[in-house]
């Protein structure tokens, strides 16, 4: 079972994070207790806050969606409009709360798809014969060498941008990364004794993948899922910012920045607030995952 | 001599070409085959069956898919991407006028970001676990996750709106002196550098740490070498390969980053050309731009591989 563990073309997305580079076998070690550093707690709070807002946001919004609440466009901070108003005089806080559903919901769906499919395919590649593995690796290497934003642009040019389409595009763009991580983890696990014992027992490959391998790589895969989520939020809001993502009258945070970019010269909060919302979500998730990796044994190499 | 290294380089080159071939097939399948009938779309309301059939024949759409792909590929290899649909110019000419601008932006960003990122990465690896390392860790970790348009809008707010130092948009036609170049490129380059430096510094730190954990470093410390000497004389020569890899992979972020930055600052580069092409659904132009982006990405990865091979003495001397 000796296979090349590292394929030739690596991807930045898998290497920004310390432990991600070292792809040694993760020992089956349970964290004693998921302890988080204070930064991790801040991250967790931010992420939970935005998840809650995605569910309850529209109920809490002070104005209904699309209501022209003020005669002033690009108004500044005030008691009636805590985040100011947008280019039509709509309340910015309500717009952001309604947009949370798109930004968080879409990214979550796409990240679940990307991680789920990528992990399954990675497991399949790790347990199947050598040439299946080789073909899959070549194919995903090719897919990974199209930068994700560029791939998304091509897909939008070809198929237009609707909400299901955007979810698909984001998922497809990040499947190769998830595939590579889960494959390299699984290939390492496949060489360990308990897998050999299971093979000797005559277990089917599907059983080995599901019962012996998957539970032992679930922590790094979950951490990777969080990172996919961050990348997808950035990708989708980038697309919306270019006017190619979520289409009006609906708006996610990226579209809100685009709509109100005209207020930049007046330093309107309508431009800054949605981008700050994105940053709090993504930075929060990043801090949470970093802390999980360092302190709770979620690290890729199982290192503390 | 060096036969092994040459063989390795040749195999990497072959692999890159194979990847490019697969990419071209993927791109052609997505843009040329799937989206439906270009002839129908071009004629729009005025589509009589005869006119559609004639145009299909003129476009070569009545040929089988594989044949169309091979014809397209043969043209692409000669640098001919066809005519742009939206402004009736050859795609290759459009790309030729925009590419130097994008390369200039990417080059300036590289010149600014690489030294800073390497310094940050090496320093935080040297002082691993200290407050400096931890602060840099939090800073870079946060910067990686910030969307480019936040950095860009904040930069415009500060430098263009409040301080009036820099123009908010890039008009390349008005370049006449060095100070003009600095004024025009300052904000796009700054925006790109922000994320790039954070990413590169993290990867550099990981590469240097990897070496610091090895046995020969412990040996060097035991024989009494100072930390600076250990890092400069022992670690860095061994870390050149991984660091080159880190730099190249971070630089590949540029291909995504420029898409946003060129649009914000209205910079006439290849990425904004592509965004316009996507908005207008101008397929030949999209195909051309994607192929250029992917080829550039593969060249970058290939260069990182070469650095790794060349910097490995075991491959150099045998």
Q: Give the DSSP letter string of chain B.
A: --HHHHHHHHHHHHHHHHHHHHHHHHHHIIIIITT--HHHHHHGGG--HHHHHHHHHHHTTTS-HHHHHHHHHHHHHTT---B-TTT-SBHHHHHHHHHHHHHHHHHHHHHHHHHHHHHHHHHHHHTTTSHHHHHHHHHHHHHHTS-HHHHHHHHIIIIIIIS--S-SS--GGG--SHHHHHHHHHHHHHHHHHHHHHHHHHHHHHHHHHHHTSHHHHHHHHTT--HHHIIIIIIHHHHHHHHHHHHHHHHTHHHHHHHHHHHHTT--SHHHHHHHHHHHT-HHHHHHHHHHHHHHHHHHHHHHHHHHHHT-HHHHH-
Give the pLDDT confidence score for residue A34 in this predicted structure.
Answer: 57
Determine the average pLDDT of the residues in A138-166. 84
- Domain definitions of chain A by residue range: 35-70+88-296
Q: Do B249 and A11 touch (CB under 8 A)?
A: yes
| A203 CA: distance to closest CA in chain B (Å) | 36
Minimum mean pLDDT among A110-114, B89-93, B173-177, B188-192: which range? B173-177
Mutate to test the interface with A, among B197, B256, B285 (most CBs of A within 10 A): B256
Tokens 């003495």 sit at which residue?
B313
The structural domain count of chain B equals: 1
Q: Do A138 and B22 touch (CB under 8 A)?
A: yes
Q: Do A158 and B31 touch (CB under 8 A)?
A: yes
Q: Domain holding B257: CATH number?
A: 1.10.3720.10
Angle between helices B253-264 and B236-251 (to 10 degrees): 40
Which residues, listed in sequence order, are joined to residue B83 by a DSSP beta bridge? B90
Give the pLDDT confidence score for residue A3 in this predicted structure.
Answer: 39
- The answer to whether residue B134 sits within a structural domain is yes
Partners of residue A261 in chain B, C-beta under 8 Å: 153
Burial A12-44 (b: 16+ CB within 10 A, else e): bbbbbbbbbbebebbeeeeeeeeebeebbebbb
Q: Do B150 and A279 touch (CB under 8 A)?
A: yes
Top-ranked range on mean pLDDT: pick from A4-8, A118-122, B250-254: A118-122
pLDDT score of A15 more than 70: no
Is cis: bond before A249, omega within 30 of 0? yes
| B110 CA: distance to closest CA in chain A (Å) | 16
Give the pLDDT confidence score for residue B65 in this predicted structure.
Answer: 75
Q: Which residue of B has its CA nearest to A257?
A: B149
Give the pLDDT confidence score for residue B115 in this predicted structure.
Answer: 92
For residue B223, count CB atoms less than 10 angstroms from its CB and return exposed for 0-12, middle for 13-18, buried for 19 or more.
exposed
Q: What is the mean pLDDT of chain A?
A: 79
Q: Which residue of A has its CA nearest to B257?
A: A149
Q: Categorize the per-residue pLDDT at A153 as very low, low, confident or very high, splitting at 50, 70 and 90.
A: confident
Minimum mean pLDDT among A26-40, A142-156, B160-174: which range? A26-40
- The answer to whether residue B16 sits within a structural domain is no
Start-to-end Cα distance in chain B: 6
pLDDT score of A27 more than 70: no
Is B298 touching A (CB cutoff 8 A)? yes
- Structure tokens that stand for A62 in this block: 């002070």
| B26 CA: distance to closest CA in chain A (Å) | 8
pLDDT score of B122 more than 70: yes
Minimum mean pLDDT among A227-236, B47-56, B178-187, B279-288: which range? B47-56
Angle between helices B91-126 and B270-280 (to 10 degrees): 120
Give the pLDDT confidence score for residue A109 in this predicted structure.
Answer: 93
Q: Do A271 and B260 touch (CB under 8 A)?
A: no
**Percent of residues in chain A assigned helix, strand, coil, to nearest 5:** 70, 0, 30
pLDDT score of B317 more than 60: no
Q: Do A153 and B144 touch (CB under 8 A)?
A: no
Q: Do B22 and A282 touch (CB under 8 A)?
A: no
- The answer to whether residue B289 sits within a structural domain is yes
Look at chain A and count its residues.
304
Tokens 């939020």 sit at which residue?
A233
Higher pLDDT, B85 or B223: B223
Q: Do A39 and B138 touch (CB under 8 A)?
A: yes
Look at chain B and count its residues.
318
pLDDT score of A9 more than 50: no
Q: Do B145 and A21 touch (CB under 8 A)?
A: no
| B265 CA: distance to closest CA in chain A (Å) | 12
Q: Categorize the per-residue pLDDT at A114 as very low, low, confident or very high, splitting at 50, 70 and 90.
A: very high
pLDDT score of A149 more than 80: yes
| 3-class state of residue A133 by DSSP | helix
Partners of residue A283 in chain B, C-beta under 8 Å: 141-142, 145-146
ipTM: 0.82
| B82 CA: distance to closest CA in chain A (Å) | 17
For a pLDDT cut of 90, what percent of chain B falls above it? 2
Partners of residue B293 in chain A, C-beta under 8 Å: 146-147, 150
pLDDT score of A13 more than 50: no
Tokens 């990796």 sit at which residue?
A293
- The answer to whether residue B29 sits within a structural domain is no
Give the pLDDT confidence score for residue B168 in this predicted structure.
Answer: 66
Q: What is the pLDDT of residues A182-201, one digit of tens each?
A: 888 888 888 888 888 888 88
| B286 CA: distance to closest CA in chain A (Å) | 7
| 3-class state of residue A282 by DSSP | helix
Q: Do A147 and B293 touch (CB under 8 A)?
A: yes
Q: Is the dihedral of CA A164, A16, B143, A220 positive or negative?
A: positive
Quick check: A156 and B278 in contact, CB under 8 A? yes
Q: pTM value?
A: 0.83
Partners of residue A148 in chain B, C-beta under 8 Å: 256
Q: Categorize the per-residue pLDDT at A21 as very low, low, confident or very high, splitting at 50, 70 and 90.
A: very low
| B233 CA: distance to closest CA in chain A (Å) | 24
Q: How far apart are CA B242 and CA B307, in angstroms?
A: 9
Question: Which of B142, B114, B106, B147 lies closest to B254 in space, CA to CA?
Answer: B106
Give the pLDDT confidence score for residue B173 in this predicted structure.
Answer: 62
Q: How far apart are CA A129 and CA A3, in angstroms?
A: 11
Q: Do B263 and A10 touch (CB under 8 A)?
A: no
Minimum mean pLDDT among A258-262, A287-291, B131-135, B313-317: which range? B313-317
**Alpha carbons within 13 A on the beta-carbon side of A52:** 7
- The answer to whether residue B130 sits within a structural domain is yes
Task: Please name the fold of domain A35-70+88-296.
Answer: MetI-like fold (1.10.3720)
Mutate to test the interface with A, among B147, B196, B267, B279 (most CBs of A within 10 A): B147
Question: Residues near A222 by Cβ (< 8 Å), separated by ≥ 6?
Answer: A298
For a pLDDT cut of 70, what percent of chain A falls above it? 85
Is B281 touching A (CB cutoff 8 A)? yes
Q: Do A12 and B250 touch (CB under 8 A)?
A: yes
Q: What is the pLDDT of residues B246-279, one digit of tens each?
A: 888 788 888 778 888 888 888 888 888 888 888 8
Query: Within the 10-29 window of chain B, which residues sit less than 8 Å (CB to CB) from chain A?
Result: 12, 15, 18-19, 22-23, 26-27
Question: Which of B290, B219, B313 lies closest to B2 in space, CA to CA?
Answer: B313
Q: How far apart are CA A174 and CA A229, in angstroms?
A: 10
Mutate to test the interface with B, among A11, A13, A143, A154 (most CBs of B within 10 A): A154
Minimum mean pLDDT among A251-255, A298-302, B76-80, B138-142: which range? A298-302
At residue A259's C-alpha, the angle toward residues A256 and A262, to 5°, is 125
Query: Within the 40-79 window of chain B, which residues sit less than 8 Å (CB to CB) from chain A?
Result: none
Q: How far apart are CA A258 and CA B128, in angstroms?
A: 41
Start-to-end Cα distance in chain A: 28
Q: How far apart are CA A184 and CA B135, in angstroms?
A: 31
pLDDT score of B68 more than 90: no
Q: What is the pLDDT of residues A219-257, one digit of tens each?
A: 888 888 988 899 899 899 988 888 888 887 788 888 888
pLDDT score of A39 more than 70: yes
Is B126 touching A (CB cutoff 8 A)? no
Q: Do A21 and B156 touch (CB under 8 A)?
A: no
Q: Please name the helix (run of DSSP H) or strand (run of DSSP E) that holds residue A124, with its range, or none.
A: helix A92-127
- Structure tokens that stand for A266 in this block: 């007046």
> What range defines the domain where residue B261 resides?
94-316
Tokens 């935080």 sit at which residue?
B124
Q: Which residue of B has its CA nearest to A138?
A: B19
What does residue A296 show for φ and ψ, rounded to 5 degrees? -120, 20
| A290 CA: distance to closest CA in chain B (Å) | 8
Quick check: B271 and B265 in contact, CB under 8 A? no
The 8-class DSSP code of residue A214 comes to G
Q: What is the mean pLDDT of chain B?
A: 81
CB atoms within 10 A of CB A100: 24
- For B264: left if phi > 0, alpha if psi spans -120 to 50, otherwise beta; the answer is alpha
Q: How far apart are CA B235 and CA B225, in angstroms?
A: 12
Q: Which residue of B has its CA nearest to A43?
A: B142
Q: Do B147 and A276 touch (CB under 8 A)?
A: no
H helix and E strand count, chain A: 10, 0
pLDDT score of B118 more than 50: yes
| B54 CA: distance to closest CA in chain A (Å) | 23
The secondary structure of B293-318 as a DSSP string is: HHHHHHHHHHHHHHHHHHT-HHHHH-
Q: How far apart are CA A245 and CA A166, in angstroms?
A: 7
Closest by Cβ to B161, choosing from A145, A264, A275: A264
Closest by Cβ to B278, choosing from A143, A156, A272: A156
Give the pLDDT confidence score for residue A5 in this predicted structure.
Answer: 37
């Amino acid at each position: 079972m000796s296979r090349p563990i590292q394929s030739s073309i690596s991807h930045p997305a898998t290497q920004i994070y310390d432990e991600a580079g070292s792809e040694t076998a993760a020992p089956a070690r349970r964290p004693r207790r998921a302890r988080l550093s204070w930064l991790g707690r801040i991250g967790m709070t931010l992420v939970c806050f935005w998840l809650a807002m995605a569910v309850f946001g529209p109920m809490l919004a002070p104005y209904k969606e699309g209501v022209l609440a003020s005669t002033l466009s690009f108004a500044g901070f005030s008691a009636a409009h805590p985040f100011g108003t947008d280019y039509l005089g709509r309340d910015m806080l309500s717009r952001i709360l309604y947009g949370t559903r798109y930004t968080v919901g879409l990214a979550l769906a796409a990240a679940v798809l990307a991680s789920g499919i990528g992990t399954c395919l990675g497991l399949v590649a790790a347990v199947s014969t050598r040439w299946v593995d080789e073909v899959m690796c070549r194919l995903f290497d090719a897919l990974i060498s199209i930068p994700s934003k560029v791939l998304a642009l091509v897909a939008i040019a070809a198929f237009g941008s609707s909400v299901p389409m955007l979810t698909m595009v984001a998922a497809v763009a990040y499947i190769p990364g998830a595939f590579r991580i889960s494959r390299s983890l699984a290939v390492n696990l496949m060489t360990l004794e308990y897998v050999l014992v299971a093979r000797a027992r005559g277990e089917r490959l599907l059983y080995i993948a599901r019962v012996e391998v998957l539970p032992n790589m679930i922590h790094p895969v979950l951490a990777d899922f969080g990172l996919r989520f961050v990348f997808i939020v950035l990708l989708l809001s980038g697309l919306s910012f270019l006017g190619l993502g979520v289409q009006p009258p609906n708006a996610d945070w990226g579209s809100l920045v685009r709509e109100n970019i005209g207020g930049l010269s007046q330093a309107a909060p309508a431009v800054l607030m949605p981008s700050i919302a994105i940053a709090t979500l993504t930075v929060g998730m990043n801090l949470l995952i970093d802390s999980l990796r360092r302190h709770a044994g979620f690290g890729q190499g199982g290192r503390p | 001599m060096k036969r092994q290294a040459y063989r390795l380089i040749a195999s990497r080159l072959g692999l890159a070409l194979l990847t490019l071939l697969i990419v071209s097939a993927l791109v052609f399948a997505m843009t040329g085959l799937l989206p439906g009938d270009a002839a129908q779309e071009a004629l729009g309301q005025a589509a009589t069956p005869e006119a559609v059939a004639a145009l299909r024949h003129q476009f070569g759409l009545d040929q089988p898919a594989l044949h169309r792909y091979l014809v397209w590929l043969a043209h692409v290899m000669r640098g001919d991407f066809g005519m742009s649909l939206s402004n009736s110019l050859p795609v290759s000419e459009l790309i030729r006028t925009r590419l130097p601008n994008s390369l200039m932006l990417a080059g300036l960003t590289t010149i600014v970001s690489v030294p800073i990122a390497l310094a940050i990465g090496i320093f935080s690896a040297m002082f691993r676990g200290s407050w400096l390392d931890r602060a840099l860790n939090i800073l870079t970790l946060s910067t990686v996750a910030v969307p480019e348009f936040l950095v860009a809008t904040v930069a415009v707010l500060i430098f263009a709106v409040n301080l009036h130092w820099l123009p908010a948009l890039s008009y390349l036609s008005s370049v006449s002196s060095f100070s003009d170049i600095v004024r025009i490129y300052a904000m796009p380059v700054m925006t790109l550098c922000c994320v790039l430096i954070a990413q590169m510094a993290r990867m550099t730190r990981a590469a240097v740490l990897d070496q610091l954990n090895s046995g020969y470093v412990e040996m060097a410390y035991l024989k009494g070498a100072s930390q600076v000497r250990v890092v400069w004389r022992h670690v860095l020569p061994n870390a050149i390969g991984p660091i080159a890899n880190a730099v190249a992979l971070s630089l590949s972020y540029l291909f995504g980053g420029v898409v946003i930055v060129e649009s914000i600052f209205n910079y006439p580069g290849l990425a904004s050309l592509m965004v316009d092409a996507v908005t207008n659904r101008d397929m030949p132009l999209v195909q051309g731009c994607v192929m250029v982006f992917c080829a550039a990405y593969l060249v970058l990865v290939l260069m990182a591989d070469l650095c790794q091979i060349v910097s490995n003495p075991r491959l150099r001397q045998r």
